[in-house]
Amino acid sequence: MTDTTKKVSERGADGLHHPTTEAALAALVRDAQSTGKQLRVFGSTHSVWRAIVTDSFADNNTPASEVAVVLDQYTQIFEPVADPAHPGMMLVEVQAGCHLGASPRRPVQARIDPQGVSARDDLAPSPWHVGSWAESLNEKLQGWKLALSDLGGITHQTVAGFLATGSSGGTTKWSIHAAIAAMRIIDGHGNVTVLKEDGTDPEWFRAAGVAMGLCGVVSTVTLRCEPTYDIVGTETISSVAKCPCIDFYGDRRDPAIPSLESFLLTTDYTRLMWWPQWNFDRLVVWQAQRAPFDPDRKLKPYQEIATLPVLSQMAASVVYTILGNLEHPERMLEQIRVVRAHPEVVARGAELVPRLRGLRGLPAVPQPSARHEDILSWITALAKALEEAQRDPVTMGAWWLQLIELFITAADEVLAFLLQLPLIKEVFGLLGSLVPAHIDAILSLFVTSGPDGAPTVQDFSDRWYFGLPMDNQMDDLLLPTWFTELWIPFTPGDGKVQGVIDAMRTLFQANGTPEGAYAATGAFAFELYAAKADETFFMSPSTGSQNVFRVDVFWFAKNAGDPVTDFYPQFWKALERFDYRLHWGKFLPRPDAIPPAALTGRFPGFETWKAVRARVDPSNVFLTRYWREQLGL
């Protein structure tokens, strides 16, 4: 690839630089190095906010001493060429700003930062740029009858951003890192180098593949692509005890049902969602196998939420907003406004209301124009009903449906009046006391198995690039989800996978009470899957010769509090003996709580990586305060 442009790109009105060529990108680095500026490149902003941005990046106020770069004008995909070292494979070079899949620009950018970046996220300009399916790498590859061996659960990310933190899909058979044939990278002096595993600087290659942007700016990536394929699979929702796919707790003693470890090792692609809450204990098992590409195959795409997906997510968003702010009802109004302003909610929100009605024995939900006294009367009736809910869990579920209807349909001024009432704090306090014992009645509204936890099964078949990223259907505005992700190396037969599940069950049992269990589980799911061993990159969370078992601890982003201090530490502690590594793009412990050396010491190549980083960026152009503290640099 050649590039003759030398001019440094102008800073845009948004405070960001949008270079269109590699030379312009390199010129930005040279200018930053010569003037003592810090430089960072932003992708889809899917990682923790401070892990991406410069130290002082702020809305409309980025200081001139920092250079913030967005590669939305640097997205070209080059024609494939044969890979002489791997017959039947093709090499495709792609510029770093290209998205893997579609990346629609949202009306609100839910930033992954519990401290917040601005008073209102919806007033903040977002560096997250548009990327359509037609312009995406996956769509282009499919047009050439090519494919990547693996994809993550979503494909909003840019190519370079996906690689930067070591992301992976759920498979122990393939790794996207093994498909990286070369990278063009710009060092801290602004020099461009081509890196290959067997090239002149193999250590830099191994350091730069997963480097959080700290070992140079990735300009292009050359991917080794294989012939396209389809996937066919099933999703099963059931109680853990009745799951037909996995002996999840290791106590079924049925040789026909594989252990969790065996299932992860033998299934091509899989992802589990575990809902371990009191009296609920549901398991969602998504699994798929490869199939030869068949242009005549009758496709049946996977539906993550099978019925009314937008409206169901809207209802779930209301429920989680209430659950996460029971002690702070005044916080609810902002998120409810975001939900109701969602374009599809505006267009279809009225469809949900008739589906919530038809409940007998409950007073009608106040209408949008309701008088204040009518609202008071309704809330009083709710408080009275909740007092009886301990004896009648059906009442609890019914009232939650009515709360959803109220929060969706009431006018802003009605909700504002409601949420400031002393009585509403009393009602939500009562709700909070009942939720732990009745969380099953609430979650059953959204996680639907058969009667008494019997399995329900959905079959699907699709092309690789639509089917593998199963979470693309989840809306980041309606259900913004944050998580910490623990990667645990294991060897077949060593008992670690089952040991992790046992340790989490012990944590969830707490003191044997619903309240203790709820404090440990929260109201959200836990995602479980695996990744193939990665012997390519030093800082990959799956680095080394062992496959890894991954535990994602979810947190609804609109909850009150900070998950890094309020929720995640119990999991970091409970699973410490398994020597987990953490996903660099997700939430990490505060350095004063868990010393950086305790985490980086689990990466055998960390010292080599650190030496390479210092060599290629001696002026620390790419090093931010966040990474200096998190990595102990």
3-state secondary structure string across 108-135 = CCCCCCCCCCCCCHHHCCCCCCCECCCC
Integer Rg of the chain from CA: 25
Q: What is the mean pLDDT of the chain?
A: 88
Q: How many residues does the structure list for the chain?
A: 633
19 within 8 A of 71, measured Cβ to Cβ: yes
> What's the pLDDT tens digit per position in 160-176?
999 999 999 999 999 99
Whole-number Å distance between alpha carbons of 152 and 169: 4
Residues whose CB falls within 8 Å of the CB of residue 75, separated by 6 or more in sequence, listed in order: 95, 97, 98, 99, 131, 135
**Tokens 């639509």 belong to which residue?**
466
* CATH 3.40.50.2300 matches 73-228+599-617: no
Single out the residue of 586, 590, 577, 531 nearest to residue 554, CA to CA.
586
- Per-residue pLDDT at 117: 46
SS3 state at 461:
strand
Q: Give pLDDT, residue 477.
A: 78
Contacts within 8 Å (CB) and 24+ apart, 301-305: 301/460, 301/462, 301/466, 301/467, 302/233, 302/235, 302/458, 302/460, 302/462, 302/467, 302/470, 303/458, 303/460, 303/473, 304/470, 304/471, 304/473, 304/474, 305/473
List the chain residues with pLDDT less than 70.
1-8, 58-62, 104-110, 115-129, 306-311, 348-364, 367-370, 386-397
| CA dist., res. 500 & res. 478, Å (int) | 31
Q: Of 25, 18, 16, give the one whose Cα is nearest residue 7.
A: 25
For 30-72, how does the pLDDT look when each residue is reduced to its tens digit (9 = 90+)?
A: 999 999 999 999 888 888 989 998 998 865 556 788 999 999 9
Sign of CA dihedral 595, 598, 599, 600: positive
Say which CATH topology domain 229-305+450-594 has: Alpha-Beta Plaits (3.30.70)
Contact yes or no for 19/74 (Cβ under 8 A): yes
Query: Within 13 Å, how many C-alpha atoms sit on residue 264's CB side?
Result: 25
SS3 520: helix
Query: Domain locations in the chain?
Result: 73-228+599-617, 229-305+450-594, 309-443
Per-residue pLDDT, 11: 84
The whole-model pTM stands at 0.92
Alpha helices in 155-245 (DSSP H): 159-164, 202-208
Query: Residues 401, 402, 407, CA angle at the centre, nearest 5°?
Result: 100
Beta-sheet pairing, 90-95 with 81-82: antiparallel
Diameter of the chain by CA atoms?
Answer: 78
pLDDT at 114: 78
Q: What pLDDT does residue 383 have?
A: 74
Could you tell me if 536 and 208 are in contact, meaning their C-beta atoms sit under 8 angstroms apart?
A: no
